[in-house]
Structure 1
Amino acid sequence: MTYLPQHPGFTRRTALQAGSIGLLGLGMNHVSALRAHAAEAGSVPAVKSVIYIFLSGGLAQHESFDMKPTAPDTIRGEFVPISTATAGLQICEHLPMLAQRSNKWSLLRSLTHPYQEHSQGHMVMLSGRTQLPPTFNASKPTPLDWPSIAAIAGDRTQPRNNLPPAVILPEHLIHRTGRVIPGQLAGIMGDRRNP
């Protein structure tokens, strides 16, 4: 029998708002003021989609989204930062179309985890959970792994226009040794929910 965890019925926006309160160091005494402000501002349309980009071994942050133009030559990249549509945000000169649309995406620069082994880090970054599952195996995914963000989103989202609700493109992350990297599948949610 496959164990299917029950996820609370709240929107991604609500989850992000709740998580952001902790990041900002706000206590419960601030929550009611934030809710009152949100009510005054009117309702905000629900989020319809999320694109989670995870580049394992991808482009360097200091040469793309977290440029360090005032850092020493030995640290900063060779590319020039350009302004975006968002005040105070600069990204690489080679990403001008993203810069023009910065009001349509979010940039997180402060994600971290305590692990030094890449497969453990992948599990954290792809599942959103810092604690590794009890049966974690760095060599392969297991049926008792935490579900990936894509698997959860796919489970909670209806397909649109004959497209699946969640996908991994262009393929699953494969280690240079040929093994599938854990953290990107449905794990305890069951194979039928694999993205």
Structure 2
Amino acid sequence: MNPKTSCPGNPLSSPMSLNGSRREFLHVGLLAGLGLTLPEFLKMQAQGAQKHYESKEGVAKSVIQIFLPGGLAQQESFDPKPYAPSEYRGPFGTVKTKLPGVVFSEHMKHLAQMADKITVIRSMSHGEAAHERGTHNMFTGYRPSPALQFPSMGSVVSHELGSKNNLPPYVCVPNVPNIFAGSGYLSTAYGPFGLGADPARGDFKVRDLNLPQGVDDERFHRRKSMLATVDAHFRSLEKADTLDSMDAFYQHAYKLISSQKAREAFDLSKEPEKLKEMYGKTQAGQRMLLARRLAEAGVRFVSLTAGGWDHHDNIKEGIQGNLPAVDKAVAALLKDLEQRGMLDNTLVMLTSEFGRTPKINKTNGRDHWPRVFSVMLAGGGVQKGLIYGKSNALAAEPEEDKVGVQDFATTIYHQLGITADKELMAPGGRPIEIVDGGNVISDLLI
């Protein structure tokens, strides 16, 4: 069973229906003439109310979420079991890390040399063995519910902290990876901005950030003035609250397009070739390089995916084809952030929806296993050189310091200055805590 990579029914993948004379006029007339077909993220902001953001201070100013879809095997990554029987140990050897007595899988030689900069949790656990449900857990901090769609961490960050430097607060690279990465019961105004293109492509260019051919700055601002006039006219005829949110949407769109600094945040051509090589000219490498660039520019939450990890068959080939590039790219990201003085205030998290079964199966793979798996944290006020928690001898169960998704999410929010037990309003005015019952894992933090 493969993880979902698209979002059928997600408002982010569908054009906004602009009903009524005012909306139709704006969409077909002014906006069509200007060529402003911004991604669905910005279109859907029209449905969100304006918000006055409280000033908050957290240790972490940005989060880079690296999600490995499919289920990364703990045994073939951060928690090898070199003394287990071969059918449990798997096909690979180990590599020594900078931490005495700690080894990683042999295909993690770069991160092994960065082990004194990171925290590895070897005792992550939940009870959801299906891809969709496990992904929901890791993106939201909640178990799935048939009654309510919970917002992703990125959307909560967008809701609580707002935008900075005219940039979207929550960006997905290259696209919104699954429905659980969305805004849930929150307004779609807080949903992610998907790039619509992969930074690993040689012709990478973010859709709709540049003015269309034939529209110069003068024409752009003239059209903006005309739109303001039309807004004022229709506001006198209609008093719906959605008109104010529509105005907020257009202002955000104009700021993003008219700000040279905002547009340049997405421009990988500004990075030197030597740095691109350090990350690796791979899918993982270029996505992580862009993530660093976005965090540096002011994006609060960058979420990216890399590779495919659902290795039910031939896990040896699957790991060999995926892990070396990710290992190199993550290590380069950490080095780059540190050299720029950004690591202390940028929280990097490497996660997957669950782990893999302790025993190799009949097709030389491993199946779904949520009982214990490994995740990595770095920067953003997290301890350096820490192995937290422990799995048992076969990587089948947590043996020490079990970590659940609620505590994990609460700790991430805490580092951003967000109170996880704060109540947000779901449809119908029902108050829902950002995380229900989680605690900050203080041992992970500096």
Residue number in structure 1 paired with 2:110: 97
Residue number in structure 1 paired with 2:175: 171
Q: Deviations over 1:14-54 (max 9, x none)?
A: xxxxxxxxxxxxxxxxxxxxxxxxxxxxxxxx233333332
CA contact (8 A) 1:64 1:91 kept: yes
Letter in 2 for 1:113: H
Say if 2:123 is the partner of 1:126: no
Q: Distance in 1 between matches of 2:100 and 2:85?
A: 25
Say if 2:159 is the partner of 1:146: no
Q: Distance in 2 between matches of 1:123 and 1:48?
A: 24
Q: Distance in 2 between matches of 1:76 and 1:108?
A: 19
**TM-score, L = length of structure 2:** 0.28
Letter in 2 for 1:66: D
CA contact (8 A) 2:97 2:113 kept: yes
Provide closer, same or farther for how the CA distance between residues 163 and 60 of structure 1 changes in structure 2, counting only shifts above 3 A. farther
Q: Deviations over 1:118-158 (max 9, x none)?
A: 2122111110123x2343xxxxxxxx511112222344365
Unaligned runs of 5+ in 2: 1-46, 193-446
Residue number in structure 2 paired with 1:48: 61
Residue number in structure 2 paired with 1:193: 190
Higher relative contact order (CA 8 A, sep 6+): 2
Q: Distance in 2 between matches of 1:2 and 1:120?
A: 27
Q: Distance in 2 between matches of 1:154 and 1:76?
A: 42
Q: Distance in 2 between matches of 1:107 and 1:133?
A: 29
Counterpart pick for 2:98 among 85, 88, 94? 85
Say if 2:179 is the partner of 1:182: yes
Q: Distance in 2 between matches of 1:70 and 1:152?
A: 43
Residue number in structure 2 paired with 1:116: 129
Q: Deviations over 1:74-125 (max 9, x none)?
A: 0112222222233443212222222222233322222222233321221111
Q: Distance in 2 between matches of 1:62 and 1:157?
A: 39
Letter in 1 for 2:123: S
What is the aligned residue count? Answer: 143
Unaligned runs of 5+ in 1: 12-45, 136-143, 174-180
RMSD of Structure 2 on Structure 1 (CA): 3.3
Q: Distance in 2 between matches of 1:89 and 1:95?
A: 13
CA contact (8 A) 2:82 2:94 kept: yes
Q: Distance in 2 between matches of 1:165 and 1:90?
A: 37
Q: Distance in 1 between matches of 2:151 and 2:87?
A: 39
Q: CA deviation at 1:69?
A: 1.0
Paired residues for 1:53-92 under 5 Å: 53-92=66-105
CA contact (8 A) 1:157 1:165 kept: yes
